[in-house]
Structure 1
Amino acid sequence: MTQRTGAAALARRVATGATAVLAAGTLLTGCTGKDGESAAPSPSPDPKTTLLAAVPDEKDPAFRFTGIDATGTVTGAVDPAGKGWELVQKDAKAGFTTTTSRRVIDQRFWMKVDFSDAGELSDLLKLPEGWMEFDQSKLEEPEVYQGADVGNTAVIIRAADAVRQQADGSYTGTVDLTGGPEVADAVDGVDVAVLADTAKAIPFTAVIGPDGNLASLTLDIPAAGQQKALEYVVKYHDFGTVPGIAAPTGADVEAAPASAYELLNG
């Protein structure tokens, strides 16, 4: 996923602040939006506008997210009020499991790497086992809080066409991944050039939860060339039940060593 979170990219914020409708298929006829304000009556709300209004924004409480793309699965939490996010990515391709945890609060960034069943790699790479805090000025791609929509859903929805609400309350349409570099970057790990003309109409399905927030967005990326078919999935859930993101403290935190900067800067 992309919003430049290094190896596990996840976060770019381009959301709108309109009022959302409930996913149960009800129209904006006196219902309450996700911000708790009464929505203006409308006989036929635009489905694309409705989806954009449901994208998480800075007025939302802390929530969890799950992202699945060509690079694997990422889980985490976002705290809009505290300008923080945390994500965890596991990679088992190397014969052992590497768990990378990243935490950002505004302009501060920490990372922790755990090599399950291969602890000697920490010594080999000269990495501490606890949290490492980084000097952002030394990173080629600084890790900073950029907004609540860590899965780039607003960028994707803005590039959507033929958006329709289905009988079950879900929304469908197609997305033009050739609509600019921002759109192509939103789907990390997908070679848009290989998709050729197919990239101009990638099918998607989106669901708005009962709370008026975007619950899921799924892009069905077809196989092309050496690129396998895959689903790009973003899920936002547990709004208001997640504690705020706090800075790591105590003896478990130390300044990142030079080897950690080399790892991130490639």
Structure 2
Amino acid sequence: MTQRTGTAVTFRRVAAIATAVLAATALSAGCGTGGSTGSDPAPSPSADPKAALLAAVPDDKDPAFRFSTLDGADKFVGVVDPAAHAMELGMSQKNDDPEFTMDMTFRVIDEDLWMRVKLTGISGLHDMLKLPKRWMALDRTKLDDGSEAPVYQNADPANTGAIIRTADTVEDKGNGTYTGLADLTDNVDVKSAFDGVDVAALGEAAKKVPFTAVVGPDGNLSSLTLEIPAAGKQKAMKLVTRYYDFGKAPKLTAPAGDQVQKAPASAYELLNG
């Protein structure tokens, strides 16, 4: 579940395309394998649990923090730096035949976009694909669908605030734990946050999806877990977002010097499929 920036959708699509391209290239070349846990007391029960929970959702006044999302089988990790209007998003994907691992990371500062690809398991794969190991500055106009490329939208990359707002009521269970029922059909922001879920197949069940949220001792939302029921060919699953390391995560800046170069044509070929 991610904010409506195209981030996870694009990332998942690019990762799938990249892995297929890399696997085909490696085979044709005949290569071998080569949250805060401070000591502050837990939050006290609130007279307005929904408002209290929404107040814990990250906003642009928060310091840099880390996040992770588990969306079915896909796990994304990253950093949000609200002061810089910046976000970093990474994913690791393994290929079995031939055997190699691709770590792909996007960094976004406002509209500026960089990508870094790390390939391990097969010697010489970077050179074979003409992909540098440094950050690559991307030109959005050279992307087939630049509107899907990641941009910084807000400090809540998993749209937790939009999801919580769909609940008619939120119950405070004490010790910083809240529960409620989310309506995944409520609005376009919520619907688009679940690209890995067939919301239509859920039918009426999509309007009452149980969630559990935890607010840490520091007053920040530390996790939101949705229990997606089985529907059709879709198995039951948990969608989990974690926000942590508030004030401890690194601030994000534009890659500079020998850390970065303009993206070569091979990078756009990879992204555009």
Q: 2:219 matched to 1:215? A: no
Distance 1:23 1:142 in 2: 41
Q: 2:91 matched to 1:89? A: yes
Which letter maps to 1:67? T
Distance 1:23 1:106 in 2: 37
Distance 1:147 1:8 in 2: 21
Point out where structure 1 has 5 or more consecutive residues left out of the alignment: 10-21, 29-43
Q: 2:245 matched to 1:227? A: no
The equivalent residue for 2:267 is 260
Identity rate, percent: 53
Please show how residues 69-80 of structure 1 align to structure 2 within 5 Å. Answer: 69-80=71-82
Distance 1:72 1:130 in 2: 25
Question: Per-residue deviation at 1:145?
Answer: 1.5
Q: Which one is further off, 118-127 or 182-191?
A: 118-127
Structure 1 SS opposite 2:92: strand
Structure 2 SS opposite 1:236: strand
Distance 1:251 1:109 in 2: 17
Does the aligned pair in 2 maintain the 1:166–1:172 contact within 8 Å? yes
The equivalent residue for 1:100 is 104
Structure 1 SS opposite 2:169: strand
Question: Per-residue deviation at 1:27?
Answer: 4.7
The equivalent residue for 1:143 is 150
Runs of 4+ in structure 1 displaced over 4 angstroms? Answer: none
Distance 1:70 1:97 in 2: 20
Distance 1:23 1:145 in 2: 33
| More helix as a share of residues | 2
Distance 1:173 1:93 in 2: 38
Q: Which one is further off, 223-232 or 208-217?
A: 223-232
Question: Per-residue deviation at 1:180?
Answer: 2.6
Structure 2 SS opposite 1:81: helix
> Normalization by structure 2: what TM-score?
0.80
> Normalization by structure 1: what TM-score?
0.82
Distance 2:67 2:91 in 1: 12
Does the aligned pair in 2 maintain the 1:177–1:184 contact within 8 Å? yes
Question: Per-residue deviation at 1:259?
Answer: 3.1
Distance 2:209 2:218 in 1: 27
Structure 1 SS opposite 2:84: coil
Does the aligned pair in 1 maintain the 2:58–2:220 contact within 8 Å? yes
Point out where structure 2 has 5 or more consecutive residues left out of the alignment: 14-39
Question: Per-residue deviation at 1:188?
Answer: 2.8
- Alignment length, in residue pairs? 238
